Each structure stands twice: as C-alpha cells, then as structure tokens.
Amino acid sequence: MKILLTGFEKFGKYSVNPTELLANDLNNVKLINTEVVGRVIKLNYMEIREQIRELIDEHNPDVLLMSGQAGRSVISLEKVAINWVDSGNTPYNCGSIVNAQELNSGGDKAFFSSLPLHPLKEYLHKKGIPAEISYSAGSYGCNQIFYEAMSYLNHLGSKIPAGFVHVPLLPVQSLNGKSPTMDYSLIKKGFDEIIQFLSNHH
C-alpha cells in the first residue's frame, strides 16, 4: 500500500516548519507492506487546491495523511474541514490575505476525516505520544488543504482513509516560551507510529 504524506513549507515569522521536515524525512520510507511518499505543499492560496489534486492523481494513494503546524501542546487528529477561509492578518506565502469567504462557493459546508481517529488516538497514547481529537482545523492553509482534499476525494467517489493532523511548534519556534512546543524527535516518533497504525489497519 502507499501512504501519501503532505506537509507545509515554512511561512510567516517561522524559519522552519516541522511538517516540512516530516514530509522530507519520511519520503521513501518503506515498511513490510507500505511505502510512504512525502511531499511539501507551497502555502499559496490559489495553488493549494491544484497541488493536492495533482498529488492524488499522480500517486493514487491508499491512504492520504496531511499535516500542518499549530500552537498546540499535543498532536491533534482533526475531525472536520469546513468550507471557509479567514487568514486574519497572516498572509499566505504568495502575499494573499483572504478573509471571511467560502473556499468553494456553494460547495459542501464541511467534510469529516475518514481516518479511524479514536482508535488512532488510543494507539498513540499506548505508545506514549501526547495526542487528542480536535474539532477545529482553523481557517487558514491547514483547513484549506484538508477541505480541498476531502472535496476532491468525494468528487472522485474515493473511499480511501484520509485526514489531517496538526503538530505542535518546535522549541526554536517559541523562543519567548509563550507557545506550547514539542521536540521534533517526539513529533517524528508520533508520525512513525501513525504510519505503522495505518499500515496495520488498512
């Protein structure tokens, strides 16, 4: 089986993005019956939809696992993607600031993750990985790719397990100590375990 893993490039004030590291480090990882394809997504508002569609078409994955960073203390398994974008004062890397509008005018209001979130959370806890199920993927690039991917898979009639996972910031991203962080080694271990779980439960 093939797992397509996506992460985002660094953006804004950050000099690194842990999910870019994950996508690069896990690319070409092979388990007994599983191959991981890791790809980094450009955080450009007008390009995210096409990027994820092209990757799905090119790799025809058996599982789609998307990831992004957030100022949270645990790995967050996202339940729902909404048809909404509001980047506030944070521009995309292309310079766009997009506020209070639908991602797809007249499209489905929301899509739910098709990953087995509750068993996955319990599995991560057994492995000593801090994890939660989250009901808000935000309204920026992370929610955008989550929504666009689930919308496209729905259009294709695809039933593959697919979903989005937020990871905490790295310590170097919170030098003032005001944002929760997690060491990259623990984040990486978490994704190693997620991939193992998905490989075993497909």
> Exactly one of 54, 125, 132, 166 is catalytic; which is it?
166
**The predicted structure's pLDDT at residue 32:** 87
Q: 93, 78, 90, 101: which is closest to 41 by C-alpha?
A: 93
- Domain region containing 133: 2-200
The mean pLDDT of 32-45, rounded to a whole number, is: 96
Give the helix/strand (H/E) hosting 9. none
The whole-chain average pLDDT of the chain stands at 97
Q: How far apart are CA 82 and CA 138, in angstroms?
A: 9
> Exactly one of 9, 35, 50, 78 is catalytic; which is it?
78
User: Do residues 68 and 141 touch, judged by C-beta distance below 8 A?
Assistant: yes
Tokens read off for 161: 């397990």
User: Do residues 62 and 202 touch, judged by C-beta distance below 8 A?
Assistant: yes
Residue that the structure tokens 């789609």 belong to: 64
39 has pLDDT over 80: yes
Cβ contacts of residue 87 below 8 Å, gap of 6+?
45, 96, 97, 98, 99, 139, 140
Answer yes or no: 166 catalytic.
yes
**The predicted structure's pLDDT at residue 94:** 96
Burial of 98 (0-12, 13-18, 19+ CB in 10 A): middle
**The predicted structure's pLDDT at residue 133:** 98
Tokens read off for 48: 């995210």
Q: How many domains does the chain have?
A: 1
Give the rounded distance of the alpha carbon of 14 from its chain centre: 18
Span 146-201, pLDDT tens digits = 999 999 999 999 999 999 999 999 999 998 888 999 999 999 999 999 999 999 98
Answer yes or no: 142 catalytic.
yes
CATH label of the domain that carries residue 55: 3.40.630.20
> Exactly one of 142, 155, 201, 202 is catalytic; which is it?
142
